[in-house]
A and B are shown apart, each in its own frame.
Chain A
Amino acid sequence: MNDSSESTLAATKPLDAVSGTKRIQPVLPVFRQSRLHRLADRWSHLLFLACSLLVVALIGGILFFLATRGLAAFFPLAGNTGRTLSFSEVFLTTDWAPSSDRFGILPFVAGSLAVTGLALLVAAPTGILTGVFIAKLAPPWMRTLMRQVMDLLVGIPSVVYGIFGLTVILPLVSRTWLTNAPASGFAISAMILSVMIVPTIVSLATDAFESLPPSLDEGSQALGSSRWQAIWHVLMPAAKPRLLTATVLGLGRAIGEAMAVQMVIGNNPQWIALMRESTDRAPFLRALFTPAATLTTELVQELPNTAAGSPWNNVLFAMGLLLYLLTMVLILTTRRLGRGQEA
């Protein structure tokens, strides 16, 4: 802002004048008010508004650009140089073989849901319990320590999580449990993903429990409940909307994570077919260690190899559009959840 160098806080000068002479002089205004300042004050908010509107425009812009490419897969738009696909063949078939013109993305949708679900199964309970622990049970030193641990965990880049999974966990699991069969698949991906999303859940859950009125806790303990009874029967239900919000945001992070999962999941678009063929006696366990693929990993894996405008390329962008729309739905869900809470 161009006027900032001009106006100075001249508080010292009038004060000197006051002490120097007995008569109290009018010391206001201390801030200089030239015409320029008033003009700047009147119009500057437009600049700030423009910044805010830019964010709004970005939301729309991302949607627009993704839609022009993603929808080109289904409609004869400008970005489509191949044939147009029908919604049902893309969203309802499990056969992904782009080179032979088959574009079923169901394996990736199912893969994303599976890996996210498994990660949440681990991360949501442990995250919420850690939140209770930090907010209500831990001694102060443990509280600070846990905060720092979570800060560090959230700060570790996803590729480093990926390389850890690739070079430490995969060989270890493969050697010890699977008699040297490759271990990549849902189980390890979900395991790494759960560590990645747990800080989000922990920090939001901690906030949720800390913002509860202390009278709840005190009241139930005055009635003779144990510490855990108070937590389980009183605090958890009271914090429920915000705990759900925490879980939903964790879900959002998990479903959008690309690199770490891509490095350990095995990248096999045909995983559903592979599992159908397998005659294993424990199909669920087998499924956990079947190389698979998700929406995000498939994007990372294949987008650089496809020509712009081809149906293959357009379907990949449609998958990106799907992820973006999903984000919006999740955010609106947290809004809905938070509405009852904010009083």
Chain B
Amino acid sequence: MRTLPALRTSPTAKHVDRLMRGVLWIIALGFIAVLLIFVGAILKQGWPVLNLGFLTKMPETLDAGGGIKPQIFNSLYLVVLSLGLSLPVGLGAGIYMAEYAGKGRALQFFRLCIETLAATPSIVLALFGMIAFVQTMGWSFSIRSGALTLALLNLPVITRVTEVSLQSVPRELKEACYGLGATKLQTILKVALPYAATGILTGLVLTAGRAFGESAILVFTAGTNTSGQFPDFRLTVPGETLSVHLWSVTSDGTLPDAREIAAGTAAVMILILLILNLLVRFLDRAIRRRTR
């Protein structure tokens, strides 16, 4: 570290200071502008397409005027399924890391694995899902292949959130519980988890948003087709989601109104994500109110 001139502020330093403050403000405002332009452009393009027919019609394969009804269903269905698969495992792993693993090598190793899984590109997870579920298990492009692979994307986030939320439980609370004669398991289930629940729920909603927007994984595991029925709860049929639909209509180019459909789909996705974001903010505020 360089020694600073004690108590001597040159005019240049003052100018630099003012200049850099200005630069920082401009960068920050620039990002706000980027977001506004982005969301504005997507909504503006999609707005003319958005109507009840678009949301409730089946998609067309060759003609204009198709809707996105099954894609909306598949998106929500896959998010729910993948969260249902990854939540128990993520909770379990998070509990182990926060409460049982101690502070030593084991915890470091588990953390390393979680970080690696979290940093693994989704296209790599997609390849894994394609080999393991689509080909080796012989499930072809289906909802179940998609849900299982998507669960891999959620797992590290849920684990991390569970671990962090459990660590934020005040020690006194747990000690008081032990003092009342509870076993460790009872303390975790009755005191620590309920306390951490709001934090975990926030993480869960964020994870849902990520899974909802994921496309690379699902292109290779859930396919780019729908079963043609609605609602179709079968796990063995291909299930194209909104984000995959958005990608496939633009890259296929067989639909005459691909542009409009893509614009409308993007707008629907942005709207759903904005609602999710409000939900996260609401939960976040609930946490702060309680911990204050």
Chain A residues with a Cβ under 8 A of chain B = 1, 3-4, 7, 9, 11, 28-31, 33, 37-38, 40-41, 44-45, 47-52, 54-56, 58-59, 61-62, 65-66, 68-69, 126, 129-130, 132-134, 137-138, 142, 145-146, 148-153, 155-160, 162-164, 166-168, 195, 198, 220, 223-229, 231-234, 237, 249, 252-253, 255-259, 262-263, 296, 299-300, 303-304, 308, 317, 320, 323-324, 327-328, 330-331, 334-335
Contact = CB atoms under 8 A, between A and B. Distances in A.
A41 to B, nearest CB: 4
Interface stretch (B48-56, B59-67, B178-186, B225-233): B178-186
Interface of B: 1-2, 4-9, 13-14, 16-17, 20-21, 23-25, 27-28, 30-32, 34-35, 38-39, 41-42, 45, 88-93, 95-97, 99-101, 109-110, 112-117, 119-125, 127-128, 130-132, 135-136, 152, 155-156, 159, 180-186, 189-190, 206, 209-210, 212-216, 219-220, 243-244, 246-247, 250-251, 259, 262-263, 266, 269-270, 273-274, 276-277, 280-281
Contacts, number: 295
A249 B2 contact: no
Given A62-B125, A133-B28, A156-B38, A226 B115 contact: no
Contact of B128 (A29, A62, A142, A148): A62
Contacts of A148: 277, 281
B189 A4 contact: yes
Q: Is the interface of A mostly helix, strand, loop or mixed?
A: helix
A58 B246 CA distance: 30
B6 A223 contact: yes
Contacts of B251: 262-263
Given A156-B213, A224-B7, A259-B247, A252 B119 contact: yes
Given A44-B185, A234-B1, A133 B213 contact: no
Most A C-beta atoms less than 10 A away, residue of B8, B130, B206: B130
B35 A167 contact: no
B199 to A, nearest CB: 16
Contacts of B274: 152
17 contacts: A1-B189, A9-B180, A29-B181, A148-B277, A148-B281, A160-B243, A195-B38, A223-B4, A229-B17, A256-B119, A257-B121, A258-B216, A300-B123, A303-B130, A323-B124, A327-B119, A334-B115
Contacts of A195: 34, 38
B270 to A, nearest CB: 6
Nearest to B101: A52
Contact of A129 (B13, B23, B34): B23
Q: Is the interface of B mostly helix, strand, loop or mixed?
A: helix
Given A28-B180, A54-B89, A300-B216, A130 B121 contact: no
Most A C-beta atoms less than 10 A away, residue of B5, B9, B92: B92
B213 A146 contact: no
